[in-house]
Chain A
Amino acid sequence: MFGRDSTMKTIVCDSSSLISLAESCSLGALGFLKHKFDVDFVIPPSVENEIVERPSKYGRFSFSAARLKHLLNEKVLRVASTKTLFPDSQKILSKANSLFRSSKPLSLLQSGEAECLALVKPLQAQALLIDEKTTRLLLEDPKKLYYVMQAEHKQVVGDEKALAEFKKSYAVTAIRSTELLAFAAQNGFFSGYGRDANEVFHAAIYALRYAGCSISQNEIDDYQKIDVEA
């Protein structure tokens, strides 16, 4: 199936994480992990549009877009689809965008995130690489999302049964760019920096946060306590 062998790990990547990695100059971690751990990093067509086609039209985003395009050309990343990707992702959008309502149902997700979720099962993916918070909360702790939304807007009502079903239907481990980079760092990604490896790793975690990764200050502080392989 899709040229995948039994030892290969598949990770579906959302644009949010790829943008964070690109903007913080940490895209090299993808190639490093691909070759060291036999990882197949895949993106659906909508994500390709979000990370390459659309940003390449704007000068201020074109540097990241060009480097991500290079990763696709080098086959570090690949675009994957299925025959039913469109209807599957529409089904996900329909479900996700009726989980909460105020005066009308609230549109929580869009096509890129839905296509990522729709690829997980057919590709037997081990993880979803995603930095944005709403999809991650739907997968990990939908009640927390409900709580956060109600704190912002008291009229919001969530369908708790549907939230639990959504979590169950699309169960997959969500990892962020920070976890990906930390794992790469623990396995020697920054070893070329010698005794400066730790400092570079800690700074890279900060850079990911400010490039868009949804990570709290306390979590960053926890990352600062981790020593990586020099």
Chain B
Amino acid sequence: MDFKKQLLLLKASFEKSDITALKRLSAVFADGAFEDHQEENIDLSIVAYACAKFLEKPYVVDNPDWKDFRKNLLYLLSKAIEDFSAGKDKAGFARIRDSVKLIQTLGEDLGRFAFGVIEKARLKAGAEIYAKGASLGAAVEISGSEKQELASYISSTKMPDKYVTKSVAQRLQETKKIFS
């Protein structure tokens, strides 16, 4: 994945408060994590998703802390872009991890739910990876989500409707045979 290019898109979407673009980018980064085996993609997915969620909530963007958060996050993203431009990938990844920490702090300070924005972002990334074909275990491992939560989240979507291979009658017949 071209991190510089993706970061430029992420920064531009955040600057414009483009919630749709941020959510789309979050899914793109999660796909990248499945395809490229790079956990930094998950961090980027978290940043994109969390920013979209924050922007959706008036009690977050109207809070006095929002202004500083926005300024600090844009600074970190700009610096990460500079790092990747200069071939300093390690430093760029560290900036992305710092961005996640910044999000976590704001989420903990202003969030109204026990289930935090980072966990929700990991869950969304995990569901995206699962939809692309990874097993539940692989999706959990790549996204850093929790198996119980991801399983429950996926089951509330229509995804399970795609994976039918046998009739219920056939399955029950096979089960009976196992126990006989």
Contact = CB atoms under 8 A, between A and B. Distances in A.
Nearest to B158: A217
A216 B171 CA distance: 13
Nearest to A175: B175
A144 interface: yes
Contacts of B164: 216, 218-219
A79 interface: no
A200 interface: no
A23 B142 CA distance: 23
Interface in B140-178: 140-142, 146-148, 151-152, 154-156, 158-169, 171-172, 174-178
A16 B179 contact: no
B175 to A, nearest CB: 4
B169 A222 contact: yes
Interface stretch (B74-82, B85-93, B128-136): B128-136
A180 B171 CA distance: 10
Contact of B138 (A107, A148, A211, A218): A107
A66 interface: no
Interface stretch (B10-18, B29-37, B55-63, B97-105): B29-37
Contacts of B161: 216-218
Interface string A199-230: 00000000001111111111100110010000
Contacts of A55: 146-148
A222 B151 CA distance: 22
A17 B160 CA distance: 14
Contacts of B175: 127, 175, 179-180, 182-183
B139 to A, nearest CB: 9
A64 B148 contact: yes
Interface stretch (A70-78, A128-136, A189-197): A128-136
B134 A107 contact: yes
Interface in B6-54: 31, 34-37
B137 A148 contact: no
A92 to B, nearest CB: 12
A107 B136 contact: no
Given A19-B151, A214-B160, A132 B34 contact: no
Contacts, number: 161
B35 A179 contact: no
B170 to A, nearest CB: 10
Interface residues of A toward B: which range? 35 or more
B76 to A, nearest CB: 28
Contacts of B31: 153
Contacts of A39: 179
A148 B133 contact: yes
A135 B31 CA distance: 20
Given A33-B179, A107-B37, A109-B138, 11 more contacts: A108-B135, A126-B178, A132-B136, A133-B135, A136-B165, A149-B133, A213-B160, A214-B159, A216-B163, A218-B161, A222-B169
21 contacts: A11-B178, A15-B137, A16-B137, A55-B146, A58-B146, A61-B148, A102-B35, A104-B37, A109-B137, A126-B178, A132-B135, A134-B133, A135-B135, A148-B163, A149-B133, A180-B175, A211-B155, A214-B159, A215-B160, A216-B162, A218-B161
Interface of A: 9, 11, 15-16, 19-20, 23, 33, 37, 39, 50, 55, 58, 61, 64, 100, 102-104, 106-113, 126-127, 131-137, 140-141, 144-145, 148-149, 152-153, 156, 173, 175-176, 179-180, 182-183, 209-219, 222-223, 226
